[in-house]
Amino acid sequence: KILGDKKSIKITNFNDLDLIKNFTTMKMKNYITKVGIGYDIHKLKKNNKICKNTKYLKLGGVNTIKSYSLLGHSDADVILHSLTDSIYGALNFGDIGQHFPPSEKKWKNYDSSHFLKHAVKELYLRDGRILHIDIVVITEIPKISTYSYQIRKNISRLIDINESKISIKGKSNEGIGAIGRKEGIAVFTNSTLSIRELDDC
């Protein structure tokens, strides 16, 4: 005897379409849309002497310029940190500092793509997916539009989503304040996720 699956419905008559509709809404009912916000800022330091082994300033995992460095415990990738926190935010799962405390030596100079992958893994464990990512980078240097294509491509590769779901915009601070004086780079990120709601209450 071969056991069938009640969900395997044969569509013969027009009325059979109603059955399918019921199954689709049943499945969709458990999914809701959540938006998380992430923010990060790191100090910029001017490199007066550029040597062969001077590291590139990394943004979104992409090498940009050598004339300035971002200071931080890990690789100081301010875009990846902000993006990671936005996903944790939508999951209500703390923040990057909680999962990877700067007090721990092992995260020193760590590649921030691992932090991002951790957040995405937590999302997949909850049967979720990313609908859209919107990133705003506030800085005077480097010019974000020069690297935005590469950054989108790299993030798309890191978390395996289509580039069309990743938006990245650079904003100058019009010379105002610390960011205007090229003392730092700040990033805001909104991540929109579709996630299964476990508790109906």
Number of residues that bind Zn ion (CB under 5 A): 2
When asked if residue 152 is in the footprint of Zn ion (CB under 5 A), the reply is no
The torsion of the CA quartet 182, 144, 102, 189, rounded to 10 degrees, works out to 120
CA-based nearest residue to 60, from 99, 115, 123 = 115
Whole-angstrom Cα distance, residue 111 to residue 80? 10
Which among 57-65, 75-83, 164-172, 189-197 is the span making contact with Zn ion, rule CB under 5 A? 75-83
Q: Of 36, 38, 40, 100, which lies in the binding site for Zn ion, with binding defined by CB under 5 A? A: 40
Chain residue whose CB lies nearest Zn ion: 81
When asked if residue 85 is in the footprint of Zn ion (CB under 5 A), the reply is no
When asked if residue 165 is in the footprint of Zn ion (CB under 5 A), the reply is no
CA-based nearest residue to 46, from 76, 68, 14, 64 = 68
Whole-angstrom Cα distance, residue 51 to residue 161? 36
Shortest distance (Å) from residue 81 CB to Zn ion:
3
The smaller minimum CB distance to Zn ion, of residues 81 and 152, is found at: 81
Binding site for Zn ion (CB under 5 A): 40, 81
